[in-house]
Amino acid sequence: MLFSGPAPRLSSGTWTLLTPSKRRELDCRRSAPVSAASDAQQSSWDKAYQYQIDLRLVSLRGSVPSAWIDDFRGVMEGKGRISMSQRGQLFDIFKELSDPKKKNSAATADAVTLGDAWLGPAIARGLLQPIPEAKVARWWSSLYPHWRKLIQRDSLGHAAAEGQVWAAPYRWGATLIAFRKDLLLRNGGRPVQDWTDLLQPKLRGRLGFVDAPREFLGAAMRSLGLSMNEDISSGSCEATFADVQARVQQLHGQVRVFSNNEHVRALSGGDVWAIVGWSGDLLPLAARTPAVQVVCPASGTALWADLWAVPSQACHGSQGRGPSPLLPAWLEHGLQPQRAQRSKGLDHGASPLLLPGSAAPPPPGQACHSVAEGAALEAAEYGMADKHMPAEAVLERSEFLLPVSSRMMQTHSRLLAL
């Protein structure tokens, strides 16, 4: 069933998409004796069968399996049309949201891919609209509370417990660490299991880092036992500004390269012995390079998500306003349990249903795992339950990077002014 409630109605003069119950009623009436009056009524029903509703999507290239489109077309049984165009970078989609006059612009699509970091700025600039009736949808009830915390925002894009729903997740990943076992261990270094291990002397000038200041700052804060979303200037933080600043400078001294591409090549070539990067880059690298060990930091890490968001200029809904009536079915389609079962892990992004229900960060000062827990994690490939997915206990200590206040932003700028 595509819709859990009444069939969505289109603009005046068009036809109603039929629910299964309406279709059964139609079949019964068709089997009854036909009069001249009923001929006209049946003609209307035939037109309703023929009407095709459009769903237009713009996604990040490679983030949506092609099988999803084929499966959805099968579910539509020819009664709906879905099209998906792709963009190479999330920034390309974000930029297009401001240009509705461009041909086939993302600004007029029914839903677009946005990374969680882009959601707040897009809302604040008026580029998005809340997802209609999201909180009564079946897919909403399947999401764990931390997902809801991520996608409920106020009109300024800030996280709000009672805010409107501005997006629906369809895949997620994590920030991981990869290190060269052959080079690091052979030269007297120790295996990397947590953020503090990046500070070992053997990695000075031998560390690569993804070019993301918030991720870098988060790693420094995690190494002190702090949440990556901690407000250092709040007065309630266990560490002082000077403590965090010193740790940022110490970690910065270890880094040889900041890049979203070159850090992977530097590890492959042996120019660096460890890198911090995103799961979609590091897991495939480890799969083709036996000497590379992938780690999910034991104290928890940063999570990222790709989300479906509705442009403010979406125009395939009733009377040419809002998203297509097929959007609820598409969002439900991507969050079905069978899709989670097919997921191999974080290589290409995992189903939101595979993220544990609790994402609470460790209490300040308790970032390091116990000896017993450490032994269990080491047995599980340094915080990885298998080669594709971090251990559940580690994921429960991980967190999404939430939008920061203007005061926190100023504090972050001061910390990163190296």
Q: Is residue 46 part of a domain?
A: no
Answer yes or no: do 285 and 145 share one domain.
Answer: no
Residues 203 and 335 in one domain: no
Note whether 61 and 100 are same-domain residues. Answer: yes
CA 406 to chain CA centroid, nearest Å? 24
Domain co-membership, 201 together with 271: yes
Note the pLDDT tens digit of each residue in 275-286.
Answer: 999 999 999 999
For residues 145 and 261, state if they share a domain.
no
Q: What is the pLDDT of residue 244?
A: 95
Residues 405, 373 share a domain: yes
Q: What does the pLDDT read at residue 319?
A: 66
CATH number of the domain residue 265 falls in: 3.40.190.10
Rounded mean pLDDT of the chain? 83
Query: Is 44 part of any domain?
Result: no
Distant-in-sequence, close-in-space partners of 405: CB < 8 Å, separation ≥ 6: 158, 231
Q: Are residues 159 and 292 in the same domain?
A: no
Residue 105's domain spans which residues?
Answer: 20-34+52-171+305-342
Same domain, 256 and 164: no
Q: What is the pLDDT of residue 14?
A: 35
User: What pLDDT does 16 receive?
Assistant: 38
End-to-end Cα distance, the chain: 56
Q: Which residues of the chain have pLDDT under 50?
A: 1-50, 358-380
> Hey, is 386 helix, strand or coil?
coil
pLDDT for the residue 41: 43
Q: Cβ(253)–Cβ(204) under 8 Å?
A: yes
Dihedral angle, C-alpha 411, 394, 276, 304, nearest 10 °: -70
Looking at the structure, do residues 153 and 230 belong to the same domain, yes or no? Answer: no
Q: Is residue 253 located within the same domain as residue 389?
A: yes
Give the chain's domain count. 2
C-alpha span between 85 and 312 (Å, rounded):
18
DSSP 135-176: GGSHHHHTS-HHHHHHHEE-TTS-B-TT-EE--EEEEEEEEE
Over residues 59-86, the pLDDT tens digits come to: 999 999 989 999 999 988 877 899 999 9
pLDDT, tens only, 5-53? 333 333 333 333 444 444 444 344 333 444 444 444 444 434 444 456 8
**Nearest-5° Cα angle at 177, 173 to 183:** 150
